[in-house]
Every structure is written in C-alpha cells, then in structure tokens.
Structure 1
Amino acid sequence: MAELFDLVGIFVFALTGALMGVRKRLDVVGMAVLAEITALGGGIMRDLVLNVSPVAFQSLGYVLVPLAAATVVFFWHPHVTRVMPLILVLDAAGLGLFCAVGTAKAMEYGLSPLHATLLGVTTGVGGGMLRDVLAGEIPTLLYDRQLYAVPALIGSAAMAGMSWAGLNGWPVALGAAVLTFGLRIAAMRYNWRAPLARGVGE
C-alpha cells in the first residue's frame, strides 16, 4: 500500500513536470526529463544524503510511472490542463506524503530532528526545485509565493517531533501528511502568501 501511494504521488508530480515542459515548448525528450526529475529528484537527493541506494533505482515502476505521466501530457495536455485544480489537490497530497516519509526515513537513519525536517522538506520540494532550475524558473523554494515550502516545513517538523517523542508508524506519518496537505490547500483556498522583505512591493 505504501508503494502504491508513493507511485500515485510520483505520477502527479511527474504531470506537473511534463506540463512545465509544454509551457516551455520543449520536445518529448525535454518533457520526459522534467517529468522524471520532478517526480524522483527529491527522493534521490534524500537518499544520497543518507548514503543509501536511491529507492528510484530499486524498482522499475519508479522510472516508468513518470514516463507514463509524460505520455499522457504529450497527447492530452489540453485536457490535463483543464483538470489542473484536481492535479493541484493531488499534488498537495503528494507533498504531504513525501515530506512525512522523507522525514521518517531520515529519523530512522539517526539524523537529528532538525536535520530530518530539512531532509523531509528536500524530499517534498527537491524535485520541483530541480524542475524549475532546468526550466529557467525561480525555484518555488526561493520564491514561496503560494506557501508550498512552508507547509512542507511545518509538516516535516511535526513528523520529526513525533518521531523524536517515540511516536512512529503509518498513523503518525499520515497525520503529518494531512497537516501538510491541509495547510497547502488552505494556502490555495485563501491565497496565503509568504511575506516579502520590508519595503518591497508586490
């Protein structure tokens, strides 16, 4: 079940990467690259920091699912764009899941709660950051105008705190994921924004 949720999150993240490729007028290769890097980049960065073999290279599905998402966008991107609100909701769910799982894994490998929190955020937003860099955009992590990294940080911190207190398992991870998801959805619903430096206009 855990791997199924993982693959669903990977598929949704890959859709956003492939759609970025469409907006940038990239060919099918460029779309596939952005789909793969968006879906898998955060997890690969996490595993490299933990000095373990990346999960993405241990299962064929982790590579094929982003390619399937890129194929869907390649042929039907106008239809995918029309259901973008649903994709954003699923993206928020994927963000919450990836942050919780990434933080939990970091804690299992003996990292401090602070470092585990940072690695959880990396798991959730790292792929999108790499996508933005490759596409020539300001990474969301550096310009959090739609409260994407902030919910990831809060959810990851909650996961690290509960794990440090001895609370582990899927119910705990699910709670942290739901917290991230809820904050991200609220940010989209109420148009919450991270503040700019004092004196800097919108």
Structure 2
Amino acid sequence: MNRTLTERARSMRIHSGLPKQFWAEAVNTTSYLINRGPSVPLKHRIPEEVWIGKEVNLSWLKVFGCIAYVHIRVFKYKNGSNSVLVVKKDDYDKCNTEKPIMKMDDGDSVFKFDRSGPFFFISGNKDNSQKDQKLIVVVLAIRNHNKFPPVAVPPAPVGQTPASSPSPTKSSPSPAPATTPSPISHTTSATSLSPI
C-alpha cells in the first residue's frame, strides 16, 4: 500500500505542477481516493461504502491541483463570547492565544484567503481552543501551465523546400553527427522525485 500511495501521490503532484511542499496533501488526497474507489479484495465494492454502509456521493470531486478561486470564510458565533484568531503554526499547536496574527471578534467574522499556503485558526477562548475548536485551511497554488518554453523550429532558407526522407541505399551507414543537448531536455531519475 505504501508504494501505491507514493506512486499515485507523486504522479498527481507532478501532473498538477505543484511544488514538493504539497507532498503531504497529495498523499492525503491519494488515500482519500483509494478509499472511495473500487477494491479488488472487496469484489470491486468501494471501501468507504462497505465501512459506513451507504452509498458515497463523489460528484463534487475536482482534479488535484486545479485552479481554485479566492474563498471567503465566515465565522459565526455569539458576539462578545468568543473570537477567532489567525495564528502561526507553533501557536496553533500550543493553542497559544497571546500572539495572534489577526483577531476577529465581532460575532460574524469574515476572512479572505489572499495567498496560497496554510492558514491556522483557533478560538480566542483558550478553553475552547484546547477542546479542538480550531481549523487548518490549506490554499493550493495556481498551476503553472508554461513550465518550459516552446521549441523553435528554424525556417527553411528562402527558395528551398525541406528535403524529403532519403531513400534507402545499399551503402554503409555514415556515423551519426555530434549533437548538443537540447536546452529543454529533461532527464530525471526516480529518486529525484521523492518528496524530500
């Protein structure tokens, strides 16, 4: 199963064009999809359906790494009784409410995700935060469609047409001409594709 997860996650991450920082997200998504796809040991039934005992709706799935748009999160709570804090990862892990990046406390707080990467939210009430009233949102980056420049083909000299394929002859083959590597040739070993 480990190899299956690794190979599928690597394939999804590379196809999407996302950097290696999204390796964990690719593995999580791969695991999610494996549990919601047909399984041979279960006679082609879906593991999630077998586990929960009802049909799973997958109509909302999107392509991994697809373009997403800015999302606005609205937090609703009783005004004055709580607040929402945007914090750093370390403060999120420790439920530290002392040094928030941003504090929202009006009862109907709106937060706009304006960059890619992780966002960490905790309750402004330390007791609630320690009871797991916290949230992580990861915003994925937009895919870069033009990673490599297109290959330019030099035009034929004026007044000449491109030569047709040579007809086979009985003479001995001539040695191959020396070539220089293309500036866009890409050879990578499988080991260089590992997450870290």
Rg comparison, structure with higher value: 2
* Both structures adopt the same fold (TM-score exceeding 0.5): no
TM-score between the two structures when normalised by the length of structure 1: 0.24
TM-score between the two structures when normalised by the length of structure 2: 0.24
Q: Work out which structure has the larger RCO, using CA pairs closer than 8 Å and 6 or more positions apart in sequence.
A: 1
Of Structure 1 and Structure 2, the greater helix share is in: 1
